[in-house]
Amino acid sequence: MSKIIKVVVIDDNDAVLSSIRSHFKGSVKIDVVRTFNSGKEGMYYLLNKSNEYDLILLDILLPEIDGIKILEELKGHNIRKNIIILSSFKDDYTIKRLQILGVNYYMLKPIDMEILEGRILDLFNEVIDIKNSNNTTIEVEVSSMLHNLGIPSHVKGYRYIREGIMLLYSSEAASHLITKEIYPEIANRYNTTSSRVERAIRHAIEISWIRGDLKLMENIFGNSIDFERSRPTNSEFLTTIADRLKLKNKELVG
């Protein structure tokens, strides 16, 4: 990454705007160039100053003009930027619409600033690798599924599960080597240990079984969860979701 990432934030929650500005103040990698609490004012800036920013952090529910309309206008004007949605609103139809409109990530509030920073850096570090590929769409699908399974984005296990699923999605061989390959790779990316990755994923799955959509769990993992709500192992959880995505997006897998 050779330059500072210039970020525009549009969110009607002043506390969120203040938190983002405060977190990135003084950062040598990320510069929050403008913030807006009005969808209309934010959209005007995005359409007329497209050469002054690299990334948009955007809420969906905004006064005057909502986030979906802003994304539609950007697409209509052929303005292509990296976009991360920050929202408390979760709906399958809306998330699917966001995929079509080119969103890179979808994060549920409350937002952990460290995780957000990591996502921004990952996005720009990997931009060459994902260019002209379908990885972005798949990542949004993974986010949507994990949200529906009740895993909050601020827990460490959430990002580890996302990474693990994406690694499995991209590699046939790795599905049999969760402990030897997947955990170490995730640990290396997040400067932690394999055992901590394993525990964090386990914790996230436990949360899922308390908060998640039971019908979706039955659909993904089978009717066995009705028997004392038994939980899949970490390996079963990761490989089952990765395999499901491969089947769903069969035409996208080389």
More confident site: 81 or 253: 81
Instruction: Please indicate, yes or no, if residue 145 is contained in any of the structural domains.
Output: no
Distance from C-alpha of 143 to C-alpha of 59, rounded to nearest angstrom: 16
**124 and 165 inside one domain:** no
State the chain's maximal CA–CA distance in angstroms: 57
Distance from C-alpha of 226 to C-alpha of 223, rounded to nearest angstrom: 6
Does residue 252 have a pLDDT over 50? Answer: no
**54 and 122 inside one domain:** yes
Q: Among 206, 221, 124, 114, which Cα is nearest to 161's?
A: 206
Mean pLDDT, the chain, whole residue set: 83
Instruction: Please indicate, yes or no, if residue 162 is contained in any of the structural domains.
Output: yes
Distance from C-alpha of 92 to C-alpha of 77, rounded to nearest angstrom: 26
Distance from C-alpha of 56 to C-alpha of 81, rounded to nearest angstrom: 7
| pTM, 2 dp | 0.58
Instruction: Please indicate, yes or no, if residue 171 is contained in any of the structural domains.
Output: yes
**127 and 160 inside one domain:** no
Residue 170: both structure tokens together = 């991209």
Distance from C-alpha of 79 to C-alpha of 209, rounded to nearest angstrom: 41
Tell me the residue range of the domain where 191 lies.
Answer: 156-252
Domain end residue (candidates: 81, 98, 131): 131
**166 and 114 inside one domain:** no
CATH of the domain at 49: 3.40.50.2300
Instruction: Note the pLDDT tens digit of each residue in 49-64.
Output: 999 999 999 999 998 8
pLDDT band at 254 (very low <50, low <70, confident <90, very high): very low
Instruction: Note the pLDDT tens digit of each residue in 136-151.
Output: 567 777 877 888 888 8
Instruction: Note the pLDDT tens digit of each residue in 219-242.
Output: 777 654 444 456 788 888 898 888
For the chain, what is the domain count? Answer: 2
**165 and 123 inside one domain:** no
Instruction: Note the pLDDT tens digit of each residue in 172-190.
Output: 655 567 878 889 989 988 8
**How far lies 86's CA from each of 11, 67, 240, in Å?**
8, 10, 27
Instruction: Please indicate, yes or no, if residue 139 is contained in any of the structural domains.
Output: no
Instruction: Please indicate, yes or no, if residue 170 is contained in any of the structural domains.
Output: yes
pLDDT of residue 159: 87
In one-letter notation, the amino acid at residue 118 is G
pLDDT of residue 226: 43
pLDDT of residue 214: 73
**13 and 89 inside one domain:** yes
**190 and 115 inside one domain:** no
Domain end residue (candidates: 86, 114, 131): 131
**19 and 124 inside one domain:** yes
Mean pLDDT of 66-84: 94
CATH of the domain at 168: 1.10.10.10
Instruction: Please indicate, yes or no, if residue 228 is contained in any of the structural domains.
Output: yes
**117 and 182 inside one domain:** no
Instruction: Note the pLDDT tens digit of each residue in 76-128.
Output: 999 999 999 998 877 777 877 888 888 988 888 888 888 888 889 888 874 43
**22 and 120 inside one domain:** yes
Instruction: Please indicate, yes or no, if residue 32 is contained in any of the structural domains.
Output: yes
Domain end residue (candidates: 96, 131, 166): 131
Instruction: Please indicate, yes or no, if residue 138 is contained in any of the structural domains.
Output: no
**9 and 122 inside one domain:** yes
Does residue 130 have a pLDDT over 90? Answer: no
DSSP for 113-160 reads HHHHHHHHHHHHHSHHHHTTSSHHHHHHHHHHHHHHTT--TTSHHHHH
74, burial (CB in 10 Å: exposed 0-12, middle 13-18, buried 19+): buried
**9 and 126 inside one domain:** yes
